[in-house]
Structure 1
Amino acid sequence: MATQKNIQMKYNNGVDWDNLFPKTKAGLVEASNGKTLEQHVMDTVAHITAAERASWSAKATPSDISAAIDALVGTAPETLDTLQEIVAALGNDPNFAQTILSQLAGKVDVVTGKGLSTNDFTVALKAKLDGIADGATKVQVSGSNGKVKVNGVDIDVYIHPAGTNPHGTTKSDVGLGSVENKNSAAIRAELSVTDVSNALGFTPSKMASGNDAGKPTATGSKSLYIAVDTGKIYLDNTSGSWLLIGGGGTVNWSSLTGTPSTSAGYGITDVAPLTHVGAGGTAHATATTSVAGFMAAPDKTKLDGIAAGANYYTHPSGDGNLHVPATGTSSNGKVLKAGATAGSGTWGNVDWSEITTKPTTFAPTAHTHVATEITESASKRFSSDTEKATWNSKSKVAVGTTTPTDADIWFEEV
C-alpha cells in the first residue's frame, strides 16, 4: 500500500500563504484507532456515548441562557444593556477608575464664594495687580507727537521751542566750522584770473558776441568774437586784425595751418592719382601669375590670335582617359572595364559573379504580420491577445513540498 500523505490547501494573499482547509491526498486516511476516515464517519457510536448525550441534555438551554442574561441586564437602558456598549461608554479603558481619580486630582479646589472662568488667572497676573496702587492713573500712548494719554485725555509732555535756532546749534556742531557766510556776488568779486587759471590748469580765452559790424578793435588778446547776425567766428590774432576762423563765412586757404599733403590725408579715396604706382614699382610692371601688372605685348598678341568662340582644347587619348562610351542602345547602361594591359579597357555590363565582398547574411528588420497571414499547424496555433490575457488571469495551482513562487493556490504535502 502506498504511503498516504496529508494535503494542506493554501491561498497566496500577495504577502504570504493563508491556510484554507485540510484535505487528504488519498480517499482513505487511517485515524489513530486504526479506522479509516470513512469508517469513523459511518460509526455513530464512536461519535458520542449515551452518557455524553445525557450530560449534554442536562446543560442549559437557549431559553435558560436568555433568562439569565435578562436578569443580569435588569432595567439597564437599551444603549447600555450589553458588555460591548458598557465598555464603549467607558472609553475602552481597562483602568477607568484610576483614570477618573487622576483627572480629579488635577482639578482646582472649589473655594467658597469663588467661581471659575475660561481665562486662567496666573501668579504673574496676580503679582502685576499687587504692584498697582489703589486709584492709580492709567497712562497710554497718544496718537499725537509730544503727548501722552492719561485716563483717556491727551496731555502735552514736550513743547518744541520757537525761533530760527532755538537750540543754539553752531556750524562747528555740524562739522562746518571753517565755512564762511558769503553770498555768490562776494565770492565772484574775490576771484581773480590767476585763481581761475590755477584751478583749471590753463587760462581760458575771453569770448564776446554781437553783430558782425560791432566787433571791437583787435588788440591781439587771442579772444574770440561770435557774430550772431552772420554766424562768423573771429580770433583777435594780432593788433588791429581779426582772423576769421569759422562760422557762416569763408576762410582763406592760406590762413589754415597743418593741412595734409596727400589726398589720403583728407580722407579722399576716389581721386585719380597723377602717376600709377603698382606692385612692380613706381610704374606697373608686366603681370605675372602671382603679381598683377600691365599685359605684356606677347600676351596681347596671343589673345588677339584667338578667334571668338574657338575651342582650343583637345581631350587626351592615352590610357586612362576614356570617360563614357558612345551613346546608343548597345552602350546603354554599360561601364568601362579596365583590361590587364594599357589601352585594353572595354565597355560592358557587370555580372553578379564579378561583384566582390557581397554579404552572405542579412539582418532582418522589425516587421509585423496580421492574423490572417499566419498558417497554423498541428503543433503551432495562433492565439489572440484576448485569449492570452484570459489564460494569464487564471489562478495558478502548484502541488509539492516546496513553496512555489508563481502560483496562487498551493496544495502543500505535509
Structure 2
Amino acid sequence: MQILTNIDLAKNELQNARIQNLAVDPASPVPGQLWYSTADNTFYGWNGTIKLNLGQVLTGASIVTLINACASLIDDDNLSANVADALTKRHSHSNLAVLNAMEVAFTNALKTKLDGIATNANNYSHPTGDGNLHVPATGTTNNGKVLKAGATAGSLSWGTLTKTDVGLSAVENKSSATIRGEITSSNVTTALGFTPVKDGGNTPEFREGVESAKPVATGSGLVYFSTDTKKIWKDTEVWTQMGGQDLPIASATTLGGVKVGANLSITDGVLSANDNPSSFLIRQELFTVGLGQGTFNLTKGSYKPGTNSLFWYMFGQKQDNEALIESSATSFQITGGLDEGTEIMVEYIEVLNSHPFPYHASEHISTGVDPIPNATTFQNGLMSPTDKSKLDGVAANANNYSHPSTHSADMIVDGTTNKSYTATEKTKLAGIATGANNYTHPANHPPSIITQDASNRFVTDTEKATWNAKASTAVATTGADGLMASTDKVKLDGIATGANNYVHPTSDGSLHVPATGTTNNGKVLKAGATAGSSAWGTLSATDVGAAPSGHVGTGGTAHADVTTTTDGFMTAADKTKLDGIATGANAYTHPANHPPSIITQDASNRFVTDAEKTAWNAKETPSGAQSKADTALANANSYTDTKVAALVDSSPGTLDTLNELAAALGDDPNFSTTITNMVAARTKKGSVNIGDGTATVFNIAHGLATLDISWTVRETSTGDMVLVDSKVFDANTLRITFPSAPTLNQYRVTVVG
C-alpha cells in the first residue's frame, strides 16, 4: 500500500514492523531512508551523501581500533572499577640509569649527524624524464642558434632555423607590387566560380532562366528568377525559395487555402452559410473558481436564458440547476459559494437558426395556467412549501426512534467522573495498601548515599592529578624529550649526513624545459606573454623578424646575417650552435636545499605533524584498550539484563499473560469480526472515482450530515490501498489532498458514516 503523506505516531511505538528488504540498493535514496540488504544481510541508511552501515557489531578488536583512532579522553569517573584499578597501577620506569645511558648513547653517536641535517630535510633525487631535463650546454659554437625538439621524447639539440621550420616552405618570393597586380576581378571570379556580391552582400547578382538551369548553390548570394515556374530563389549555400510559393492546403497547424464545403457558398469573394432552420452548437467551457467568485462569463459563445439550455458539472457529476442564476446570454451565477480552486464545467446550447424546445415548468406550479396538485398521503404531486419546511427540519437518515426505559450494562459509556470496573479490578484495588504512592526511583544519587567497599572507592581530583603526573615511557616528540622511536631511528639512518630540505625553485629562470613528447619534432620553445610561460611551436616570419633568404629589399641586396646588435638571418654556425643546446636550456644552478612541499608523498612515505606524533604517542596500548573494552562490555551486559528484568516486572499483574489479555477482550476469538459487524450494521457508505490529471485537491460531497465518518482511498485499477492527506471539511464534505495531480479516475474514495 502506498502512503502519499507523512505519518505522525505522536511518540507511540512502531511494533512488530520490518523495513523494506532489497536485493540491490535503491536508485535514488533520500536523506533518512532505511532499508535491509538481502545481498549481505545488513541494515543500511542514507544520510544525504553516503550509505551508512546501521548493523555494525563492535567486537573487542574493533573497539580497540576505534579507541586508538579517537583523540578524545575517557572520563575517569565513568570507568568501571577494573579500569580505575588499572589507572592506579600506571607503569613508571624505575631504572633511570638505563634511560640516561640510552639518551647519552644517542646524543654522542647521532647528535652531530642530526645537527648537520636541515630541518625537514628529505632524500631528494632530481628527476630525469622528459619534462625535467636541463637545457643542453651552449658551448661556444651555438651562438644565435635555437633549441629544437627532436622526433623522440626528451631529444633536444641546438640548430639553425630553416624556411620550413618557420612554416614558410610554400611561400613564393614575390614582391607586394607583383601580388597586387595579380589580384584582378577576372582572376577572383575565375577562382571562385561565381561573381561575388557587392557592398558586403547588399547588392546581389540577378539572373533568370528555366528552373532546371539553376547553377549549383555555393553561398554566392545570387538571386535567380525561374521563368517557367515563376519562383524566386536565393543562393544561401542551398537554394532557398524567396517568392512565388505554392499555396498549401490549410490544416490545424498550417495556414493555407480552404475549399468550399456543404452548406457554404462563395459569391464575388464573399463566403456565406445557408439559412438552415435547425442549426445550433453545443459548447463546453471550463472554469477554475477564484476566491469569493460567484459570477462566470462565457468566452466561446452564448445561450438563450430561460430555455433550459445551460447545465453545469462539478467533480465529474451533473449538478442541480436550482443553484444557477442565468444573468445574461453570456453570463451566469452559482449560489451557495464554491471553494477556491474548484473546477466546474458548463455545457450550453448556442442557437444559430432554430427554435429551442419549450421550457414550460412554470406553467405547472400552483400559480401557473396548468397547475399540478400538491402531493397527499395517497396521491403523487408537487411538494408544498409546508412539506418542504417540515422535510428540511428532519435530519438526514432520521428514523422513528423510541428511547427504551432501561439499558443493559454493556451500553453504559464511562464519563470523566464515573467509571465502571470489573471484579478483577475491585480485587486488585483491595490489595493496594492505604496511602500507597506511585514511587519513581531518582535518576542519580549524591556520593554520600553510596556505600563504598574494597572494590569500589571514590578518588579525589588531587589523587587523579598525582597519578597523571607520574613519569611515563613515552618516546621523544617535537615538544618533549624521551626515548627515540624505532621508526625515527630507521628514518634517521636513511638520511645522508649533511642532507638538506631541498626545494626546486619554481620562479621564472628556474623552470624545467617542457616535455617534448613525440609530436614536437623540429619545433622550437617560444616564450609566452607572461613570466615563466613557454610552449613548443613553429616560428613564423614575424617571430624571426625577417623574410626568407631569397627575399631582397628595396636596395636590391639580400638581408645581412644577424649580429649581436642587428637583426638578420641565422647563420649556419648559429644554427649548429642552437642545435647543440637542449630545448628549454637555461643557466641552471641547483639550489642547496628544498622545502617539504616539493616531495611527492605516497602510501609508504608520509610527513606527520608534531601534533600527530603527540596524539599517537598518547594512545592506549592494544592490551590495555582490550581490557577496558572487555570490562565496558561486561558492564553493559549486566546493565541490559537488569533493565530487561525490571521491564518485565513492571507489567500490570492482570495483563502480563496472553490468557489475561484474551479475558480482557471477552474471550471472543472473532473479536475483530464482531466489532466490524456491529459497526457495519449502523453505517452507510458511498464511493466515487477521483482524478483528472490537473487538480490535487478534491472535495468529496457525501451528504451524510455528520462529522463522524471513516474513509478509504485505493487505486482504481489495482485495488491497492493508499494513505493520503485528508480532512473532514464539514458535515457533508471530505477533502482529499494529493502531493501531485492523479490521472483521470486513478483513485476511488469510499466514505462510511
> Of the two, which has the highest radius of gyration?
1
Please classify the TM superposition score into its range, dividing by the shorter chain length: under 0.3
TM-score by length of 1: 0.25
- Which structure is richer in relative contact order (CA contacts within 8 A, separation 6 or more)? 2
